[in-house]
A and B are shown apart, each in its own frame.
Chain A
Amino acid sequence: MSVPILSISNLSVEFRGDAGWKPVTAAVSLQLDRGETVALVGESGSGKSVTAMSVLNLLPANARRTGSIRFQGDELLDLPESALRKLRGQGIAMIFQEPMTALNPVYTVEAQLCEAILSHRKLSKRDAQQMALDLLHQVKMPTPETKLKHFPHQLSGGQRQRVMIAMAISSEPQLLIADEPTTALDVTVQAEILDLLLELQKDSGMAILLITHDMGVVADVADRVYVMRDGRVVETAQTAELFASPQVEYTQQLLDAVPHLGRDLPTSAIPASSPAPRSRAEHGVLEFRNTVIEYPGRFRKPGFRAVDDVSFRLEPGEILGLVGESGSGKSTIGRAAIGLIPSAGGSILLNGSDLGSANERTLRRLRKNVSIVFQDPASSLNPRVSIGRSVIDPLRWSGTSLSTKQLATKAGDLLEMVRIPGSWAGRFPHELSGGQRQRIGIARAIAIDPLLMVADEPTSALDVSVQAAVLELLKELQKTMGFSCLFISHDLSVVESLADRVAVLNKGQIVEIGSSREVLRDPTHEYTRRLLAAAPIPDPVVQRARRAERMAQQLVGAPGA
């Protein structure tokens, strides 16, 4: 057995702040062999990215590393910068999470590829350009000749990531460090990128160190796993073992919190003991009839049809999941449902009233019965207002008859309902964690005892363990209060655990709609099947089988995202 490609022993990274040196990671040890894919997994703040950056010393100036990092046996920690530079991009290559900002917006794809190519070898400009084209072919970029002359902002997220990968493999590195390479991508694109990485690995034998928070991705591609928490490695094992029998409690909790497509059985659509439906039975709470929503073009950009002839009906007390990738129109539907965006065709009925023909006063009256929970806990709450004020703001805005004292009491009650101590009413959003802020958002949404709640990706910005708690809270509140919920998400497993019925959206149209069980277990439409096949399941055995099946089916179509 030869020397491991990468061997990190007892690595600690500290950052210097105003109060001296603060440790960010401690005593991290890990190892990769040739041809292996190793995942470094953890939630935000676990130190996984910092560890990845320290290999090539891409940390900020106020950081210091102690310990040992060996690449093919050679110690990297005390290497002078000039020697380290030779290694960067050549022996060890790195790709990052946000391809939009990781590429310089003012240079063409070709220019940046050539720059990477020429950083470690001498070639004529013509030869470099040819090699750039070859690399694009290698990463399966569609229409590579035209893409060469494009700028990063003209490419999609997946295509930009392909460019980054092309740059990374240009000098045939032995080790590829991939820091959350697919987190910002749609699930189908993610699958393609992961496929690409594995294929390149098969051809070249390079080792891949994959940083991720997504257990599904880990189950999909990793041979071995290291779990990090609060700057330390808490467990490591072969992938199958880790999932089957985790040794450490934290790992177990992590695995439990991950929604698992196909495992959670949704409860029956309308619970037997639900409160009496609060709307007239002839109409649904929300109904879309052949609705069309367009974003008008400004005098340069053409108009864009975000929602194209969509129809569905939401019954009282029901949770309807809207699933789709970016650009599918699901967010647009959510906002249109509460009257924030007008429809260009068809009609939207809220509790029987047509939103299109409603005047300002009617709209406001209707809005008293609907609420919305947003995705980003950081910006959905006014930073200058205390959380006690924020939760009862909807009551004030919709014109309430409650006195100030009554409102204060109500604020306390609402906080308790989302399991936040009522005494915290005077605190401000920045004093709370992301998960807590999202609970405030929910508390605010239930303040007016809504008929309909639109939840637009309410947990997408949260860590997986926090996500589980928030979803559970949402489920519970819905059962007790009985509101209908339009639950928008790109994550199929999250939707499955919550929704009674599911609608699948693609490019502004509903391609399939039915009960969760039907749509997610036994889909009829091709797109739904593709979506399901691409979503990685956090179970290595199952996922390997799915991967094999998907690869077999893919011999027909060519990816192009």
Chain B
Amino acid sequence: MIHLTLNQISAYIDAELPEASVELVRLHLSSCLECTERFGHIEEQEGALARLLVNDPGDPFFERFAERVLGPEPVEKAKPVKKPEPVKEAGPVPKAEPVKKPEPPLLVAAAEAPRDPTEPPRPRAAPAPAPKEAPRQRPAPKAAASRPKASGPVTNDGPRKAGAARILLTVAALLIVLSAAAVIAVRPRIPQLSFAPTERQVPDPGAQDARPPRVPSAPSDAVPDPSAGGSDLLERAAARSSEAERAGTAEAHDAAAAAWEEALPQLEKNADELAAGRREIASARYAAWSKDPTPERRDAAMSAVRAYLLCSPAGADRDRAWTWLAELKR
């Protein structure tokens, strides 16, 4: 039997075949198991590619994109400062944009000699600096999740009124965050949290100390407690994370990761919470490896980061996880 070529399957999948050829391909697929299987593989692959290659950073990102190239817009064209949205108790958690210093415009003077655009470009003398990795963030209550993004850097080129409005917005945002923190302090039950990120310190992989590698010791409390309920497991995991932050040791981060792994089944009903749980595990595993980079910790961290990447939504946390993976692969 003559099989379909990959060109034919590609054109069929992309709806680029003439109608007469479409019928022939359909007819063939209905009788050829091998081509049907290959067609199924390509369709599945296309679905995976659509998930891997497509990302929408959202309108706020593009509102200031041109500034990265050209610098701020002239004052008379500056957009008014938006009012913060009201705090919501429920609903989807907005993506947390990492707070970054405004980058200087990449291009100030175009003094380079003219050249053919088809040639590979020369390395720039002053490329845009890679943004410094934002501090790791940790779960916060939903009230805090919808805080406005007005607490970002205040540009020094806006009119005075806009500056005052931004300061007010910043204060309002801080008040919201503080109230949310108070809620956590009173009732820190993870199922009620939305895993919206707040500040958290993640060790800089470049700042690894020169201690000899050690075999990670299993934390004494990593064995599941059969009597522990779901919320207890989550509370304990959150507590381990806090302890790990305070202690800053690889063992403490190992314990936090183990506690989150144990609690993970409690989060499986909700995709967002599952992703947040996997993020906690990846973060803890990566932190443990950063503190004490043994091969075992590297394997555990890579596995955890990959697991998180496969379920994580696009955004700053996912991007950060990619940098972890790159560090772990080195």
Task: State whether these chains interact.
Answer: no
